[in-house]
Structure 1
């Protein structure tokens, strides 16, 4: 309640009249004039009436106390089974807390659900950031406290000396059990790139959180889905692991530590390291027979690639040619055939026979050595011409054991457009070749092919009368390709518009050298943010759905849709981050969503230690929401008027606000209306009465 003045005359006039009245009153009292007191009261009442005093009374309503309840919805809250499941504990604790806060009408809970940074590459639990955002529009005086429902693994806990922006208790309700333990594995360091065939080292570490059993841990190491080693690791010790890069492209090294019985989660018992294999220089041996127009096309293609080391063995003068040239003028040096085909043959990534026929230049045992090279993992490409159908064909040598097609001895001399077979439209070597999808294909014609018996392997291109043109086959650990025509050079020369000779030859070479991107049956996955792209490459038809194993241990079926012949894909928006396993049929692959060193997966054991300093500083408490049996047990709520000065070990203190909101103001002029008129008349009448006597 307040009294204010609203003068009826200007303030200067009021002041002058008041001074004059005061002088008159003083003179009257000094001279002892009869009725001086009544005259003084009359002048004072007149001045008050002119000053117009007003009585004000405010109508205020008390404001509610805001209590922030921050709920941890990160992935670490998904661990545990049954009554020990942290998410179930969280839901029950939240429901109980809401019911208890509802008993206090002056308390307004503000519920905040905080996930683990879904749109970032390094997911983490940032509960204090969520708290700050939730209270950004609340005056500090109205904040009664903050209650965190979490497993305690919070990654943005501020420094204890940093101000929070309000002065109220902070409480922690901790999910999980007090005796939890967990074993996890991390890749500490490793190269991103490695030379194929060279040794690389990756360092990993097994980490035990909580009271884990003593002793070493067994770690299984897999490379590209195949287990290659088992190692014993002392927890907490950096363990180096050395391996040889087996192939170009992505190589996935997986470390899996054996789980412990009763540990919190097995989701972090695996770690992966992705290394891109790089071929330092591809070593190619090109063996040419008699000179022909296509020989230059092969040589130009191979020499144009700076990453190819080409050794070209060609016969310019067949043994049967006799022209009287002295032997010492036939060659500057003897060609090192023994060194190439016996001693160093395994150093080559690819051997190409281009229109070569057996004329006794290479001993017969060399062909057997080449066949063994293929069976042991080598790559062989045969570009055949008329010589392959003749009596001196290399198909009559021990090399025939690895060739997918045997010549009949006939040539098909007929113009044709090379076409893809049904398998060829799906095969990664020929799928999507420019100009292949029209009829006839948008490329030039060829004019002859070698006739062969029904081939083994896969016929992905065909010539005239649907005869085989390009045949691929696996032999032992190696691969063989046969191009049953010597006229691919017509495309390179631009005849009738040319054709995709460079793309075709390069894809053949890379398939022969077992590049993962050109495997007929392959399952790959890659992550872009939180979107997982699953790709299934096959030539066998619809592969069916893929099974996705989530980091939390759950599974999800993913429908694969055919995007182009032989290529099936699915895009999956994931709600989790971590290591995913994708399986389809006998194929599996691993992919990591988010950063491999994300804080969310470094520690999963529930803890009270992170919130304890802030609870102690603000007179709050940290309490586990469930006992050993899983029964929810929350502390009581204690409203406190004024600052919370003492912590209560059994109750959550909340500072109640004194803030109010103005709803309205009632005003009453004291000298207005009949009240003011009555006061003036009373005083004046008293003065007149006194004067009359």
Structure 2
């Protein structure tokens, strides 16, 4: 309750009047004038009335004490046991806080940030956000429900912005242990066929059983090694890159019974295989218009080392003529087809016929080269339908089609077959979508029996034109026409000869991007993109195994003929396994060194310093069975000066809010008139005596 003044006249005028009244009173007292005291009182009452004193009284209500409860919903808290503990502790804490009406609890779930590729547990960031609009004097404390693995704990010398206890309710059990594996170092690129080294480490957290860990190493889904290793040591592993494009090396450590999580028991390292100067052997039967098209295509690629021979001098013409008098040299058959054949990435026979240049044994050698992983392309012409066809040699064992001995000679537009519209070698060729195709015609093909493998392009009357087939570990392609040069020369507008020939060559050399049956996945931020290439029809749904071990079905939608895709957001980070039929692939979402999986064993150590500094409590909630042990709440008036080892101390605020102000003028109305009449009457009474 306070008294304020709201003068009716300026203070200077009131001061002048008061001074005159005081002077009159002094003169009256000096001359002993009767009634001077009462006159002075009357003048004082008039001056006080002019000052207009007002009695004010505020109406205030107490404010609630704000307590922030931050719940750790990060991925390390996703195990069933910890999730159960967290939910039970949260519900128990709500019940206890509800018993205090003056406490206002703010509950905040702190989950992984979906916009970051390296998620971590950031509880103090969530705490600051929850209390950003709260004055420090109203904060009664902060309570964390977490496994203790917090990655944004501020330095102990920093300020939290409030003076109240910080408590932590720790999920998990004190005897937890975990085994994990991580890639220490490894190259991002490597030359195909050369040895590379990746270093990994198995790490044990907590009281793990003694002994070595069993590690399984897989490359592109195929197991290549098993190793017993000692946890804590850096283990170098050497391997050879088998193919170009993405190569996925997976290191998996055998799980321990009872460990916290198996989500970090596998690690992957992705490196791109680079082919160093592809070696191509082009063998032409005799000069023709299409020979230059093949040569120009292969010579235009700086990454191709081309060896090209046109055979014009059969062995029977090798006589005693001095070499310096010969216009042609003898074909180095033994060197190329025996000693160095395995050094070639691709062998092309362009309108070649068996003329005795290559002994029969060499054809068998080429067939073995294909069986062992080599690549062979047959560009057939009329010779392939004749009696000297290479289909009559041991090479026939790897050829996907046998000639009938006849040719079809009439104009036709090369067309994609139903398989060709789905096959990555021919799908999407420019001009293929129209009818007839928007490219030039060819005029002859070699007739063959029903071929093996996939016929991806057709000639006149639906006859095979381009046939692709797998043989053993290698691959064979047959182009049953020598008219492809018409496209490269621009006849009738030409056609996509360069992309077609290049795709055929890359498919033969087993580039992953051109596999006809493939399952791929890659991460774009926290989005998972899955692709399924097939020529067999709808592959059905895929199954995703999340890092937490949970499995989810995913529907694949056809984006192009033979290509099915889907894109899904992910709430977890880590190693995902995608399976569809017999195919499976791995992809890592988020940073491979994300803090969320570097340590998963629950611990009070990280939050204990802040609890000690603020007089808080760190308490494990695990109890017998599925129950949780929660401390009680202790409201404290004033600063918390002593930590309570059994209860959660909360500093209660004394802040209030102004609801209204009651004002009453003291000399207004009846009260002022009564005071003035009283002193005037007293003056008259005194003077009348």
**TM class, shorter-chain normalised?**
over 0.9
CA distance in 2, matches of 1:349, 1:643: 79
2:310 is matched with which residue: 310, 314, 324?
A: 314
> Which residue matches 1:546?
542
Query: Is it true that 1:303 corresponds to 2:299 in the alignment?
Result: yes
CA distance in 2, matches of 1:123, 1:545: 29
CA distance in 2, matches of 1:28, 1:634: 82
CA distance in 1, matches of 2:90, 2:611: 19
Per-residue CA deviation, residues 373-421 of structure 1 (Å, 9 max, x unaligned), is 1111000000010111112111122211111111121111121111111
Structure 1: segments with no counterpart, 5+ residues = none
CA distance in 2, matches of 1:426, 1:444: 22
> Which residue matches 1:677?
673
> Which residue matches 1:452?
448
> Which residue matches 1:388?
384
> Which residue matches 2:414?
418
2:559 is matched with which residue: 532, 549, 563?
A: 563
> Which residue matches 1:70?
70
> Which residue matches 1:4?
4
> Which residue matches 1:35?
35
Query: Is it true that 1:197 corresponds to 2:204 in the alignment?
Result: no
SS at match of 2:661: strand
Which runs of structure 2 are paired with 1:76-475 in the superposition (5 Å)?
76-80=76-80, 85-317=81-313, 328-331=324-327, 334-475=330-471
CA distance in 2, matches of 1:281, 1:327: 32
Question: What is the Cα deviation at residue 37 of structure 1?
Answer: 2.9
SS at match of 1:481: strand
SS at match of 1:125: coil
CA distance in 2, matches of 1:355, 1:335: 17
- Residues 56 and 665 of structure 1 are in contact (CA less than 8 Å); yes or no, is this contact kept in structure 2? yes
- Residues 253 and 273 of structure 1 are in contact (CA less than 8 Å); yes or no, is this contact kept in structure 2? yes
Is the alpha carbon distance of 1:337 and 1:192 closer, same or farther for their aligned partners in structure 2, counting shifts above 3 Å? same
SS at match of 2:46: helix
CA distance in 2, matches of 1:326, 1:269: 70
CA distance in 1, matches of 2:330, 2:11: 125
CA distance in 2, matches of 1:13, 1:233: 99
SS at match of 1:544: coil
2:574 is matched with which residue: 559, 569, 578?
A: 578
- Residues 177 and 628 of structure 1 are in contact (CA less than 8 Å); yes or no, is this contact kept in structure 2? no
SS at match of 2:144: strand
> Which residue matches 1:47?
47
CA distance in 1, matches of 2:28, 2:271: 110
Query: Is it true that 1:620 corresponds to 2:616 in the alignment?
Result: yes
Pick which of 670-679 and 293-302 moved more. Answer: 670-679
> Which residue matches 1:639?
635
CA distance in 2, matches of 1:329, 1:430: 48
Question: What is the Cα deviation at residue 334 of structure 1?
Answer: 4.6
> Which residue matches 1:23?
23
CA distance in 1, matches of 2:33, 2:649: 70
TM-score by structure 1 length? 0.97
Query: Is it true that 1:668 corresponds to 2:664 in the alignment?
Result: yes
- Residues 291 and 316 of structure 1 are in contact (CA less than 8 Å); yes or no, is this contact kept in structure 2? no
CA distance in 2, matches of 1:408, 1:121: 60
Query: Is it true that 1:479 corresponds to 2:446 in the alignment?
Result: no
CA distance in 2, matches of 1:213, 1:322: 76
Query: Is it true that 1:523 corresponds to 2:519 in the alignment?
Result: yes
- Residues 3 and 56 of structure 2 are in contact (CA less than 8 Å); yes or no, is this contact kept in structure 1? yes
CA distance in 2, matches of 1:33, 1:652: 76
1:498 is matched with which residue: 477, 494, 502?
A: 494
Is the alpha carbon distance of 1:588 and 1:172 closer, same or farther for their aligned partners in structure 2, counting shifts above 3 Å? same
2:647 is matched with which residue: 644, 651, 666?
A: 651
Kindly tell me the number of residue pairs found equivalent between the two proteins. 689
Structure 2: segments with no counterpart, 5+ residues = none
- Residues 456 and 473 of structure 1 are in contact (CA less than 8 Å); yes or no, is this contact kept in structure 2? yes
CA distance in 2, matches of 1:324, 1:582: 66
> Which residue matches 1:61?
61
Question: What is the Cα deviation at residue 331 of structure 1?
Answer: 4.0
Per-residue CA deviation, residues 601-624 of structure 1 (Å, 9 max, x unaligned), is 111111111111111111110111
Question: What is the Cα deviation at residue 31 of structure 1?
Answer: 4.3
Per-residue CA deviation, residues 222-271 of structure 1 (Å, 9 max, x unaligned), is 00000100112211111111111110001000000000010011111000
Question: What is the Cα deviation at residue 575 of structure 1?
Answer: 1.6
> Which residue matches 1:511?
507
Question: What is the Cα deviation at residue 320 of structure 1?
Answer: 7.4
Pick which of 333-342 and 319-328 moved more. Answer: 319-328
